[in-house]
Amino acid sequence: MFNQLTGYLSNTTQTPGEAANYTWALIYILIVFAGVSGFVILMNWGERKLLAHFQIRLGPMRVGPHGLLQPIADAVKLLTKEDIIPDGADKTIFWMAPVWVVLTGFTTLIVVPFGPTHAVTDMNIGILYMLGISSLGVLGIIMAGWASNSHYPLLGSLRSSAQMVSYEVAMGLAIVSAIMMTSFTAGWDGAGTLSMVKIVEAQKLQGTWFIFKFFPLGFIAFAIFAIALIAETNRAPFDLPEAESELVAGFHTEYSGLRWSLFMLAEYAGMFAVSSIAATLWLGGWLRPFPNWLAGPTWDLAFAVFPGVLVILVGVAAFYNAAKMPKLAALKPQTIGLWVLGAIVLLLGVFLASPPVAHRISDIEWFVLKVGLFMYLYVWYRATFPRYRFDQLMKVGWKVLLPIALGVLIVTGIVGLTPDLAAWAKGAR
Amino acid sequence: MKKVYGSGIREACTYLGQNYLTVDSSIVDDVLQAYRDDEGFDYLVDLTAVHYSKREGTQFDVVYILYSFAKNTRVRLKTQIADGAALPTAVKIWPTANWLEREVFDMFGIRFEGHPDMKRILLPDDWKGHPLRKEYGILQQDTEWVHINLGIESAQ
Amino acid sequence: MKDTMLETNRDFYGEEWGEHGPTVLDASELILNMGPQHPSTHGVLRVILKLDGEKVLGTECVIGYLHRGVEKIGENRTYTQFAPYVDRMDYVAAVSNGLGYCQAVETLINVEAPPRAQYIRVILAELQRIASHQVWLGTHALDIGAMTPLFYTFRDREEILKVFEKYCGARLTTHAFRIGGCQYDTYEGFEKEVKKLCDFMEPKFGEYEELLTTNRIWVERTKGVGILNGDDCKALGVTGPVLRAAGVKWDLRKAQPYAAYSKMDFEIPTGENGDTYDRYMVRIKELHQSLRIVRQAVDTLPDGPIMAKVPKVLKPPVGEIYHSIEAPKGELGYFIVSDGSLQPYRMRIRPPSFVNLQALDKMVRGMLVADVVAVIGTLDIVLGEVDR
Amino acid sequence: MKVATLLRKIFLIDLLKGLRVTFKYQHPKEIYTEQYPLERPVIAERYRGLPRMNVNPETGETLCISCDLCAKACPEHLIVVESERDPVTKRKVLKNYTFDVSRCMFCGLCEEACSTDALELSQDYEIALYGRENLILDLKRLESGPDTTEYTR
């Protein structure tokens, strides 16, 4: 037991799942669960704040410094709210739906590779597993829509299912083209991989992120995936299932309190999961940027420390803001809170930036940074675009994305095989 | 401008530069049709009524305001009917009249024959009384309705 | 009330809709109650949709949730006293309402407001048109899913409201004009401030357009949606930008000029197809035209009195009059019958929103649920005016 | 032209244009929100707010001459002027004056009707109170002005 606990700390080749180290696997599951939940809370605040800034507003400001405690206040509110089950609802399914959605949302996360060893487990069919489980989430949405016995949720859930089915095709094809790229790794004998960890390793070995591979093919595939992932997570401009101005709140119209917050939790977890697929497949997962151009141990250290330095900067920004706060009696607790927050963030940043820690977990930090980039894009899109209509959404999915994805797939295959073909032609002659 | 329609036309004059025509309620339909088809008044601006409670017999004036895009002129057509009497609907001439006639029915209780959906529009369907009649006080309300549907004694 | 609704709409709902709601889920038709509490019915409009899947087979509007009996109030107030009430009909364009009312009563008592008052009226009414169109654009974009234009338009509208507040002391329900002219003269620096406002506005309109005009999602959502051609518009009595988008070049400011509009140089923007996109473009162009009018009016603002000679106790002669103006939403008419007393005998208001809303059914038949929302938005209705 | 439109479509120029606008406005200095109790809006001079009865600053006597014009001008009939005739001077003396702000729509007609500048709609806009009955103001409250509200979180 103890052995299992300490032994893994020095293990730098295998994920706990692979090493059959159940204690650490459990710890990782808890870390991932807690981490993603924390991320959801942060994201909740971040989205509101970001969206507000896009829209020349301030966003939450009153609860805690710069509204930082707003998610907690909201959580308390949601937990203490009356839990309403509509009269005509199918109670069992109504009860099951949010649980199901959360379950599928979090189960996908066990194969997400935060680092070469930082994943709960590494399956050899990792990406397939992720796609499969995440598409099960739609079942929960249909359950919610059906069980509510109300028109808006029903329409919302039907839209959702149709949308997921059609966008999964384009998404799958884009993924296949990335997987195909893994098979061009020198020394792998043309064998690709579905394992999330191996996909990143392939990018490391090939010395390029797949977004830049066979430019612009990798980029197009990435773009298709980037569009499909918004549709997959029901976010604007593809947020038809919850289209606020049409269907009130879509499939979760009849939900309130805790159950509703479960849907939100699942939505953000789903966003995290899908973004992590994109980061893994095209943005090099946990790999730091510029591995070839800025190589060498000095640069390695610099890049390892970089995320920690970012956190330190956030802390400094908090201090700066606290110093700039108007000196009013009413704002005193807020100012003090901001000082304390700045101190905590600063300490965290120093801890993360200290070289031993940084070396061990800088890959996690890079991964989270990349996912964070996607989160920013999510909010940015939401702030800018109108919503597609249902039939237009289908049109974009089937008539635009699918053909392009197919074309990219074929061209990728041809381009990738050209050296082999040339060699074969030479040999044949 | 003014057309001769036998004895049906009671009065045709201009007040402050605005033309109006008073016709008998029996020929209102024909006159409206003629105005649209022959004179090109293709836009029914408004349809409303006025309640002259002190007048004997024909208590209500129903007013049609017509406009012609081509001539850029407006004309008012008035007809007088008694309480409880009905007028032919103008919906088949101008679809606009649909809601306007419903509003007149709602507010004055004047029925329009042949209207596709003659029911109240602004007030609740089972409200009693027609508020724009002169005998309906400004503070008056259908207390029974308010009591049953809103569960309060008074909405004021 | 619900049950009686069902009773009277038996043929609309179909028989299986019993007393307790839909017990049988009919696979072919779905009755969807949109409103009165719904995010995008612009107030308390209730639209009952008959759907086949998401396709709209028919609609029925239930209105009157905001009925306040403005016409009845009008019969019980003196002419002066009624003026603040009209502000509360179309509450996003209060100045236009007040302008129409004052003009109507002035016609009735045969008084003309002095030129300076006329110009001030034009300036404020056009600023109000801009503000109203901005509210429309923001909410319409929000209906279609673009959240941000709402905040940008409301920010810019705020500047107009600040001018209103400085001029007449209120932002929304302004009560800016009185019968016979204006109560207030311009404040110090009014001209400069309005000109600055115009310069501030122009680039902002460009921003709205950058966000929407060429955006492919916006174009797809609006082009070919809710088509209403010119003949339909005339038959349904639809006026305002909706009529102009259908290609009918008709604007009361040009057709029957009132206030100082006859001295202004401006164009009437028109559309071609009469779809939602054209209506959007017409209104955007109208924003620019309004700015043009405001600039001209400020430049040529004459000096002189702001109030005509109107008796303190207003007793118009016996008679009746109809006067209408081009409100931001269409033709806003006042039909006033006077019996020679202090109070109007009959005060009929012809609201543009009420008549325009009638066209909803024709516009959305065969469209999808999402289009209903877009069409309600594009009609630019204000429920305060629909229900009065 | 055709090619240009096509290229614009492929490179998503239309979408990027919108994204640029929203990106630009992220800057904190563009924020338009007013942090209300901390920052208070500047009220225009002509603002029509809570009514106030002015008193003669030297003698402290009311300026109201009980002419009842404001009550007649009010569309909502919410002003009640109570006065009695002074037996000596034969002039009307104001006894009480009630103003029901709960029904007031701040149209300013009473202010315009007043011939002595006694009644004025002041620039106080924070007039929310607990209970409708508190909004019926009598002469004393109209003269003293509103109770100042302090905001301490």
Q: SS3 for chain A, per residue?
A: CHHHHHHHHHCCCCCCCCCCCHHHHHHHHHHHHHHHHHHHHHHHHHHHHHHHHHCCCCCCCCCCHHHCCHHHHHHHHHHHCCCCCCCCCCHHHHHHHHHHHHHHHHHHHHHCCCCCCCCCCCCCCHHHHHHHHHHHHHHHHHHHHHHCCCHHHHHHHHHHHHHHHHHHHHHHHHHHHHHHHHCCCCCCCCCCCCCHHHHHHHHHHHCCCCCCCCCCHHHHHHHHHHHHHHHHCCCCCCCHHHCHHHHCCHHHCCCCHHHHHHHHHHHHHHHHHHHHHHHHHHCCCCCCCCCCCCCCHHHHHHHHHHHHHHHHHHHHHHHHHHHHCCCCHHHHHHHHHHHHHHHHHHHHHHHHHCHHHHHHHHHHHHHHHHHHHHHHHHHHHHHHCCCCCHHHHHHHHHHHHHHHHHHHHHHHHHHHHHHHHHHHHHHHC
| Residue A348, in any domain of the structure | yes
| Residue C270, in any domain of the structure | yes
- State how far the Cα of D3 lies from the Cα of B143, in Å rounded to an integer: 70
Asked whether A147 and A97 are in contact (CB, 8 A), the reply is yes
Region C283-287 average pLDDT: 90
Identify the residue whose tokens are 């001459």: D65
Both A39 and A123 in one domain: the answer is: no
A95, burial (CB in 10 Å: exposed 0-12, middle 13-18, buried 19+): middle
Domain count, chain A: 2
Both A194 and A224 in one domain: the answer is: yes
pLDDT of residue C15: 42
pLDDT of residue C16: 41
Distances (CA, A) of B115 to A32, B49, B81: 67, 17, 17
Token pair for residue C16?
């299986």
Alpha-carbon torsion (C222, C223, C227, C233), positive or negative: positive
| Residue A12, in any domain of the structure | no
- State how far the Cα of C134 lies from the Cα of C139, in Å rounded to an integer: 9
CB contact under 8 A, C255 and B72: yes
| Residue C277, in any domain of the structure | yes
CB contact under 8 A, C211 and D21: yes
| Residue A421, in any domain of the structure | no
CB contact under 8 A, C345 and B72: no
Both A145 and A42 in one domain: the answer is: no
Identify the residue whose tokens are 């959240």: C147
Both A65 and A92 in one domain: the answer is: no
Alpha-helical (H) ranges within chain C are 2-8, 10-13, 70-75, 79-86, 94-109, 115-144, 148-168, 190-212, 216-222, 230-236, 241-245, 252-255, 276-299, 352-357, 360-364, 369-379, 383-387
Q: Determine the Cα angle at A99 with ends A93 and A105, to 5°.
A: 130
Asked whether C344 and C5 are in contact (CB, 8 A), the reply is no
CB contact set of C243 (below 8 Å; sequence gap of 6+): C230, C233, C234, C250, C330
Contacts of D110 in chain C (CB under 8 A): none
Asked whether C349 and C97 are in contact (CB, 8 A), the reply is no
Answer whether C8 touches B (CB < 8 Å): yes
Answer whether C340 touches A (CB < 8 Å): no
Identify the residue whose tokens are 């909410």: C139
CB contact under 8 A, D30 and A385: no
pLDDT of residue A11: 58
pLDDT of residue C382: 86
* pLDDT at C127 exceeding the cut of 60: yes
Answer whether C69 touches D (CB < 8 Å): no
What's the topology of domain D51-144? Answer: Alpha-Beta Plaits (3.30.70)
Both A58 and A133 in one domain: the answer is: no
Q: What is the pLDDT of residues D35-94, one digit of tens each?
A: 777 777 888 888 888 888 877 777 777 777 878 888 888 888 888 888 777 777 777 777
Contacts of D23 in chain A (CB under 8 A): 54, 380
Contacts of D38 in chain A (CB under 8 A): 326, 328, 330-331
Q: What is the pLDDT of residues C5-33, one digit of tens each?
A: 444 444 444 444 444 444 444 556 777 77
> Can you give the residue range of the structural domain that contains C269?
78-332
Answer whether C204 touches B (CB < 8 Å): no
Per-residue confidence band for C1, with pLDDT thresholds at 50, 70 and 90: very low
Which residues is D82 bridged to in the sheet? D96
| Residue A429, in any domain of the structure | no
Query: From the CB coordinates, do chains D and A have 3 or more pairs under 8 Å?
Result: yes
Domain count, chain C: 1
Asked whether D86 and D113 are in contact (CB, 8 A), the reply is no
Partner chains of B (3+ C-beta pairs under 8 Å):
C
Strand D119-121 to D51-53 pairing: antiparallel
CB contact under 8 A, D18 and C183: no
Q: Which of A132, A139, A135, A129 minimizes the C-alpha distance to A98? A: A139
User: To which H or E segment does residue C62 belong?
Assistant: strand C55-62
Of C107, C237, C350, the CB nearest to B94: C237
Both A187 and A279 in one domain: the answer is: yes
DSSP state of B125: T
Strand C177-178 to C181-182 pairing: antiparallel
Which residues is C22 bridged to in the sheet? C17
Q: What is the pLDDT of residues C187-229, one digit of tens each?
A: 888 888 888 888 888 888 888 888 888 888 888 888 888 888 8
Asked whether A241 and A266 are in contact (CB, 8 A), the reply is no
pLDDT of residue B8: 56
pLDDT of residue C7: 40
CB contact set of A418 (below 8 Å; sequence gap of 6+): none
Q: Which of C84, C306, C47, C148 minimizes the C-alpha distance to D73? A: C84
- Classified as helix, coil or strand, C181 is strand
pLDDT of residue A18: 66
Asked whether A115 and A359 are in contact (CB, 8 A), the reply is no
Region C352-376 average pLDDT: 85
Identify the residue whose tokens are 């543009």: C352
Rounded to the nearest angstrom, the gap between the alpha carbon of residue B151 and the centroid of all alpha carbons in its chain is 34
Q: Which of C371, C363, C374, C378 minimizes the C-alpha distance to C143? A: C374
Q: What is the ipTM of this complex?
A: 0.81
Partner chains of C (3+ C-beta pairs under 8 Å):
A, B, D
Asked whether C292 and C266 are in contact (CB, 8 A), the reply is yes
Contacts of D9 in chain C (CB under 8 A): 216
Q: Which of C347, C4, C74, C73 minimizes the C-alpha distance to B128? A: C4
Answer whether C37 touches D (CB < 8 Å): no
Region C281-285 average pLDDT: 90
Of C31, C151, C221, the CB nearest to A55: C151
CB contact under 8 A, D33 and A58: yes
Of D25, D26, D38, the CB nearest to A326: D38
pLDDT of residue A200: 79
pLDDT of residue A102: 87
Q: Which is more confident, B6 or A119?
A: A119
Both A155 and A67 in one domain: the answer is: no
Both A48 and A137 in one domain: the answer is: no
pTM: 0.84
- Classified as helix, coil or strand, C198 is helix
What are the boundaries of each domain within chain D? 1-32, 51-144
- State how far the Cα of D134 lies from the Cα of C359, in Å rounded to an integer: 46
CB contact under 8 A, D19 and A380: yes
pLDDT of residue C28: 67
pLDDT of residue C72: 86
Token pair for residue A255?
């939900």
Task: Flag the least confident range among C31-40, C245-254, C342-351.
Answer: C31-40
Q: What is the pLDDT of residues B108-143, one digit of tens each?
A: 888 888 888 788 888 887 777 788 888 787 777 777
Percent of chain C clearing pLDDT 90 (strictly above): 1
Both A41 and A131 in one domain: the answer is: no
CB contact under 8 A, C39 and A244: yes
CB contact under 8 A, C319 and B43: no
* pLDDT at B6 exceeding the cut of 70: no
User: Domains of chain B (ranges plus CATH)?
Assistant: 9-122 (3.30.460.80)
Strand B60-68 to B43-51 pairing: antiparallel
pLDDT of residue C20: 42
> Can you give the residue range of the structural domain that contains A169?
87-416
Both A318 and A181 in one domain: the answer is: yes
Distances (CA, A) of C254 to B72, C251, C265, C351: 10, 5, 10, 20
Token pair for residue B18?
């605005």
| Alpha-carbon torsion angle B9, B13, B19, B20, nearest 10 | -40
Whether a cis peptide bond, with omega within 30° of 0, leads into A216 is yes
Number of alpha carbons in the 13 Å side-chain half-sphere of residue B84: 1
| Residue A25, in any domain of the structure | no
pLDDT of residue C11: 42
Token pair for residue C210?
């950058």
Q: What is the pLDDT of residues C239-274, one digit of tens each?
A: 888 888 888 888 888 888 888 888 888 888 888 888
pLDDT of residue D148: 54
Q: Which of B110, B151, B111, B144 minimizes the C-alpha distance to B128? A: B144
Q: Nearest chain C residue to B101 by CA: give it.
A: C355
DSSP state of C44: T
User: Tens digit of pLDDT per residue, chain A (429 long)?
Assistant: 555 556 665 556 666 666 666 777 788 788 888 888 888 888 888 888 888 888 888 888 777 777 778 888 888 888 888 877 777 777 888 888 888 888 888 888 888 887 777 777 777 788 888 888 888 888 888 888 888 877 788 888 888 888 887 888 888 888 888 888 777 776 666 667 777 777 777 777 777 777 777 778 778 888 888 888 888 887 878 877 776 667 777 788 888 888 888 888 888 888 888 888 888 888 877 777 776 666 677 777 777 777 777 878 887 887 787 777 776 676 777 778 788 888 888 888 777 777 776 666 777 778 888 888 888 888 888 888 888 888 888 888 888 888 888 888 888 888 877 777 777 777 766
Both A73 and A92 in one domain: the answer is: no
- State how far the Cα of A242 lies from the Cα of A254, in Å rounded to an integer: 12
CATH number, domain containing residue C115: 1.10.645.10
Answer whether C354 touches B (CB < 8 Å): yes
Q: How far apart are the first and last CA of chain D?
A: 60
DSSP state of D49: -
Answer whether D112 touches C (CB < 8 Å): yes
| Residue C194, in any domain of the structure | yes
Q: Give the total residue count for chain A.
A: 429
Min CA distance, D39 vs chain A (Å)? 11
